[in-house]
Amino acid sequence: MRQQTEVPFMSRIFRHKLAALALALTVHGWSTAAGAQIVVKIGIGTQDTTTNTVTAGVVIRQLNLLEKYLPKDGKYANIKFELEWSNFTSGPPVTNTMMADKAQFGMMGDYPLVVNGFTFQSNPESQSRLIAVAAYNQFGSGNGLVVHKDSPYFQLSDLKGKLVSVPFGSAAHGMLLKAMQDRGWPADYFQLVSQSPEVGSTNLQEKKIDAHADFVPFAELLPFRGFARKIFDGVETNLPTWHGVVVRTDFAQKYPEVVVGYIKALIAANEWFRADPKLASEKIQEWTGINKEVVYIFLGPGGNMTTDPTIKPILIDAAAQDVKVLQNLGRMKEFDVTKWVDDSYIRKAFAELKLDYDAQLKSMANYEVKGEDKFCNKHITDPRKAGEVWVDGEGIEPFSSTACTLGAYSSIKAKGKKINMAYVFDTARGIKLFADQAYYAIGSDKAAIAPFLLKKDAEDYAAKNDGKVLSFEDALKVATSGG
């Protein structure tokens, strides 16, 4: 870091000579024959299993969207692009690959992103800039904390003094620190240890740890795989969580049109997902191994993540908060997030696609569950009270309320059909839930069934309405008999 400003003159000459020698060997390899096509390599570091980033990575790769939007004329007439995709399970290796100039684009979650920007500050060749957002949740859902399903813990405070693992430096780590800060808990409230998703998942399954906090998609994936239960959702921290795309500035300044093309491909990938979320989820399962039901809870309608490439001020504010947390931990020095954001490329992409960037920037809307409820014969008016049932081999049916969803679930099941998953929405927080993992509260009149992520929320609701809390099975019975 210190040497950044004092690169002596000699070394520059040295480097010039070497540059001539090594021209053919550098990462942006050039073919030596004069007049021939120039080959430019574009390296992209993706996180396929991190469902948040799929539309910035694996979808673009599999559908060859980037090839479609790469510039072809003018100064690019003689350039042949070669794409190099590399896949990692977390953000830091992507940063490492970018630092080594093996990737020019990279995508990762909020915490690794600021670490990326900060690490690049000491790189004499290039900086990194945030050019687009892959997906976000305004309230911090996506990160979550899970416990073993047989454990006696139902809320965060039950874990006092217990062994909790989280990948340090990840968005989930930030969520946990924020949650502790909000509650005024001391740093040693939990026994906090750092474990990668792979290690933490196995440890939780073997009950070696009491809880594991992780980023997308693990807080949904582990419960889906059947051994974990989510007891804390990032939504309770009320701090946005998001994934974004960074680019090396040396590359971006040389080939700005490529960066614009990449963002167009990202927009196209988002559209592709929203056009047919069921098919898209199935494809992503095929490409990444993350179960389609889990992909759908994140990126489907009313899902826990909004795919929107615009760089919203609230996300940047959240990143500034992340920087503060890292500084408090002594992991980071000065870093100005506002200088690190560069929206010129995405503005250009929007303009060329005839889209209104500023309008999109202001919108915080996701796409929602809609259509006709065929079970209760109603039009869906309140999407965050609705529900969905995914019938194996058929499709995903929307229903107007939790009661209708559960009623439909029973009737579909009675017909002998296989159900992949049913989804409902948390009554208090509006986040999408796996129906079979939720707690249900009914009032004394048994008119409405209210699903909750947290047992405590359900109990509060039941107490207030003089009702009781039901499991999924009991809620199904109520929905079919009395509802």
Partner 1 sequence: VQSALLKLTEPELSSPEIDSPPVEARAANTMPAKPKIDRVWIWRWLALHQRELRGLVVGAVSLALFLLCWHLLTKYRVTMHVRFVNVPSPEMVFDSLLRSARDNRFLSHVYLSCRRVFIGFLIAAIIAVPLGLVMGRFRLVREFVFPVSEVLRPIPAIAWVPMSIMLWPSNEESIVFITFLGSFFPILLNTLHGMVMVDPVFIRAAQCLGAREASIFREVYFPATLPYVFTGLTVGMGVAWVSLIAAEMISGQFGIGYFTWEAYSLVQYADIALGMICIGVLGLGSSALIRGIGRVVMPWGKK
Applying CB under 8 A, the residues found at the interface with partner 1 are: 1-3, 7-8, 10-11, 14-15, 18-19, 21-22, 25-26, 90, 92, 95-96, 99-101, 115-116, 119, 122-125, 165, 167-170, 193-196, 198-200, 202-203, 205-206, 208, 331
Burial of 301: CB neighbours in 10 Å, binned 0-12, 13-18, 19+: buried
Strand partners of residue 130: 246, 341
List all residues 6 or more positions away from 21 whose beta carbon is below 8 Å from its beta carbon: none
By C-beta, is 169 or 309 nearer to partner 1? 169
Tell me the one-letter amino acid at 313. Answer: P
Cβ distance to partner 1 smaller for residue 15 or 324: 15
Handedness of CA 202, 205, 208, 212 (dihedral sign): positive
Name the amino acid, one letter, at 135: A
Nearer to partner 1, 165 or 310 (CB): 165
The smaller minimum CB distance to partner 1, of residues 24 and 77, is found at 24
The full DSSP string for 450-477 is: EEESSHHHHHHHHHHTT-EEE-HHHHHH
Contact assessment for residue 298 and residue 304, using Cβ atoms and an 8 Å cutoff: yes
Query: 203 Cβ partners below 8 Å, 6+ apart?
Result: 165, 195, 209, 212
- Rounded to whole angstroms, the Cα distance separating 461 from 57 reads 41
Which of 19/447 has CB closer to partner 1? 19
Closer CB to partner 1, 63 or 193, in the complex? 193
Strand 144-148 to 211-214 pairing: antiparallel
CB of 10 to partner 1, least distance (A): 8
Work out how close the CB of 39 gets to partner 1 at its nearest, in angstroms, rounded to a whole number: 17
Give the Cβ contact number of residue 162 at 10 Å.
15
For partner 1, give the closer residue by CB, 7 or 36. 7
Shortest Å distance, C-beta 202 to partner 1? 5
What's the closest the beta carbon of residue 457 comes to partner 1, in angstroms? 30
Q: Shortest approach of partner 1 to residue 127 CB, angstroms? A: 13
Instruction: Give strand pairing partners of 440.
Output: 451, 470
Interatomic CA distance for residues 93 and 115, integer angstroms: 12
> Smallest gap, in angstroms, from Cβ of residue 291 to partner 1?
19
Closer Cβ to partner 1, 98 or 180, answer by number: 98
